[in-house]
Amino acid sequence: MIRNLLFDLGGVIMDIDKNDCVRAFERLGLANASSYFGDYSQTGPFMLLEEGAISPDEFHAALRADLPDGVSDAQIDAAFCEFLTGIPPYRLQWLRDLRKQKRVYMLSNTNPVMWHSKIAREFEQEGGSLSDYFDGCVTSFEAKALKPEKKIFDYAIRTLGIKPEETLFLDDSESNVQAARALGFQAEVVPPGTEFMDILRANI
């Protein structure tokens, strides 16, 4: 029996566009900006920030070494947040409705720059906050591990107090879904252009 719903954020709840982010960093003067961003993971200081290996200040310093003089922390953060397009209000409604029926959680590869700015604001658009939509959240930067590593799923199981066999995990990455299944989760891919409610209707 499925008691828990465990959601990825980007590409499932939040719309994303890495090309907007790449263009924003190109405008700041970052050479080879596209080389830092993959479809499901980042490289260099972006990855280190996401896995909690460096602080935002260290992230800014690392990037500034490859940027023209005078680029501010705020400009770096704003360019990085261009990765996130936003959350349509109807998905927030779905989350609120689902929470009346199941325990609802989030497990996201993300970073403190986005988490404390654009992500927080998107969940405030109805006047609430993250806690109005989720019973608990686990981020890669606090777990110090990235999906699809086993460590981050173990951290989520322990921190959220969930049992994999009672949990349906939704993610837009096939490798993340396969990793979850290997640990006993029920798990489904949310393909591009598909709403997570379409997947849930077919599975719960």
Q: How far is CA 24 from CA 21, 31, 34, in A?
A: 5, 12, 11
Determine how many CB atoms are found less than 10 A away from the CB of residue 185. 23
Active site residue 8: yes
| CA atoms in the 13 A half-sphere facing the CB of 148 | 18
- Sign, CA dihedral 69-75-80-83, equals negative
Kindly name the residue from 8, 39, 132, 171 that is annotated as catalytic. 8
Q: How far is CA 40 from CA 19, 173, 183, in A?
A: 13, 7, 20
Calpha distance 127→121 (Å, rounded): 10
Calpha distance 94→85 (Å, rounded): 19
Annotated active-site positions, please?
8
